[in-house]
């Protein structure tokens, strides 16, 4: 993974953790993060098409709870507008 990609992932991660964005932006950032991770290691994340089309993008609320519990979320969350 090159330096620019790492920096972008760090920026996205920071925004996801801070919550300084709307829920729509949060969902979009989460989907972008998963897509970037997938392109670098397809086994590390769901494929972008599946994540978006199957409604697997989680909401900020769903992300925070598993994060605190130390597990990954596997629930539906962000819905298309």
Q: What is residue 15's predicted lDDT score, i.e. its pLDDT?
A: 92
pTM summary value: 0.67
Query: Which of the residues in the chain have pLDDT under 70?
Result: 58-81
Q: What is residue 7's predicted lDDT score, i.e. its pLDDT?
A: 95
Q: What is residue 11's predicted lDDT score, i.e. its pLDDT?
A: 95
Q: What is residue 73's predicted lDDT score, i.e. its pLDDT?
A: 39
For residues 78 and 57, the answer to whether their CB atoms sit within 8 Å is yes
Distance CA 81, CA 52 (A): 12
The interaxial angle of helices 23-40 and 60-69, nearest 10 deg, is 60
């Amino acid at each position: 993974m090159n330096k620019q990609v790492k920096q972008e992932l760090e920026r996205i991660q920071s925004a996801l953790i801070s919550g300084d964005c709307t829920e729509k932006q949060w969902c979009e950032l989460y989907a972008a993060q998963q897509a970037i991770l997938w392109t670098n290691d397809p086994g590390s994340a769901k494929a972008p098409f599946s994540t978006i089309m199957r409604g697997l993008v989680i909401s900020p609320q769903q992300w925070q709870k598993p994060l605190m519990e130390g597990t990954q979320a596997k629930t539906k969350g962000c819905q298309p507008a």
